[in-house]
Amino acid sequence: MSQKYILALDQGTSSSRAAIVDEKGKIVSISQEEFPQIYPQSGWVEHDPSEILASQLRTLKSVIEKAAIATSQIAAIGITNQRETTVIWDKNTGKPIYNAIVWQDKRTASICESLKEKGLENHVKQTTGLVIDAYFSATKTHWILENIPNAREEAVKGNLLFGTIDSWILWNLTDRKIHATDVSNASRTMLFDIKNLCWDETLLTVLDIPKSLLPEVKPSSYHFGDFELEGVKIPITGIAGDQQAALFGQGCFDSGDAKNTYGTGCFLLMNTGTKLQFSKSGLLTTIAWGIDNKIYYALEGSVFVAGAAIQWLRDGLQIINSAEETEHFAREVEEENSVIVVPAFAGLGAPYWDMYAKGAIFGLTRDTGKNHLIKATLESLAYQTKDVLIAMQQDATIPLKSLKVDGGASANNFLMQFQADILNTIVERPKNSESTVMGAAYLAGICVGIWHQDEILSQREIDRKFTPNFTDEKRERLYKKWLKAIERTKNWEL
């Protein structure tokens, strides 16, 4: 019974997960449960916050049972979450006043345009590190207050609370006592001053968001509160947005270290250390984490649709039964693929930031089959990553020696090899691809003395390195075709 464990909660866009991690940094057990996606109309994406919470609690309990450990052996809980997704709830009843508006949701594009017309783009960039986009929490919060009956009146009275998903889970786990978030999640709201580490009064005023709605902002490795389970109080000591957690879990602790996570979206982050570095190339400046009384920053490029494109092949087109099949079908296309898929289902993210782009398929011929579409969809993940990486290298003024990868699609050897080929960079995949989970676990564990930060790198093991094989001519030719396709998807819906 002397062995201690960390319970990591990973609340994602399509599923809630929980993992038990031992003191050696090994995952003992994982539990996962998908929950419904809600699409009320075109461009709108929602989740039921109560279902998110219920599914997360079910995975929490099942993962402890799977691990066959006592509750008293859990030293701490770490939380990582889908970012930007917005929940507003009644603090007296505990019930959400509307569904969670998901980060992919585009309903607030017109609000973003009005902010741009007011000349706020530079203020937003210099204060929050972000660009004005429907992606972030600020305009989603404004929309709920404007469109839900009595919401603004109740908010002014101090009866409502806003939170990203971490805050919603934390508030419920702490028996509705703690309304807080960490610096990494706060930095994704488009309301937080990442230099002065406070909520920005100008943006709150412009969007008419009462300050009483907002959570307290704490470091990422911090004792937020306690979750009581079976009479045992377990401290919640780590919170970070999923991409920042993955950066930490990959051991990207030094300035210039970078990783790419292939999840529902595709996210490439580079640690810039304690230096706040603004992008000239359409990337975001974000807080990586807060630990040991220091704030670490990162440059980030966001690709909105990655794994979601694979889900589209499965659920929308119904040409695959599972994501795992895509590697086999892609390899069936032996010739160079003439088809390009641009999966701009939610507009284009960095470095283009085009809310009005739409998805498209180019290069169709009479002999195009499902294998060509599958291969082209996989390749689109690698092309979008290259777009971001080029911009990141321009900002950081240093070339990457390698790219650390994680997330579901990193298990696809075809995709990882194509990624190395199109980047002309070594792609490094760890044995434990659960970097997001590990980041949450490590942040929580460091706070309670399970690990020191320097131990984490020694625990990390490499599964495989993918080395580029393409000629420069082939790489350039293929990428030019991709850029041509991108140009034709832009500003589709004006």
Q: Mean pLDDT, the chain, as a whole number?
A: 93
- CATH code, residues 5-241: 3.30.420.40
Burial grade of 73 (CB within 10 A; 0-12, 13-18, 19 or more): middle
pLDDT (0 to 100) of residue 398: 67
Residue range 341-374, pLDDT digits in tens: 999 998 988 888 888 999 999 999 999 999 999 9
Fold equal for 5-241 and 251-493? yes
Residue range 97-142, pLDDT digits in tens: 999 999 989 999 999 999 999 999 999 999 999 999 999 999 999 9
pLDDT (0 to 100) of residue 391: 87
Please state the domain extents for the chain: 5-241, 251-493
| 197: Cα separation from own chain's centroid | 21
For strands 294-303 and 284-291, give the pairing: antiparallel
25 in a known ligand binding site = no
408 in a known ligand binding site = yes
469 in a known ligand binding site = no
412 in a known ligand binding site = yes
Global pTM reads 0.85
* Cα-Cα-Cα-Cα dihedral sign, residues 448, 6, 240, 110: negative
249 in a known ligand binding site = no
307 in a known ligand binding site = yes
322 in a known ligand binding site = no
pLDDT (0 to 100) of residue 1: 52
- Distance CA(264)–CA(255), nearest Å, equals 26
311 in a known ligand binding site = yes
464 in a known ligand binding site = no
Residue range 19-44, pLDDT digits in tens: 999 999 999 999 999 999 999 999 89
Instruction: Give the CB-side neighbour count of residue 121, counting CA atoms within 13 A.
Output: 8
Torsion of CA 202, 205, 209, 210, to 10 degrees: 100
- CATH code, residues 251-493: 3.30.420.40
Residue 451 has pLDDT above 60, yes or no: yes
242 in a known ligand binding site = yes
46 in a known ligand binding site = no
- Distance CA(88)–CA(155), nearest Å, equals 10
32 in a known ligand binding site = no
Residue range 399-439, pLDDT digits in tens: 777 799 988 899 999 999 999 999 999 999 999 888 899 99
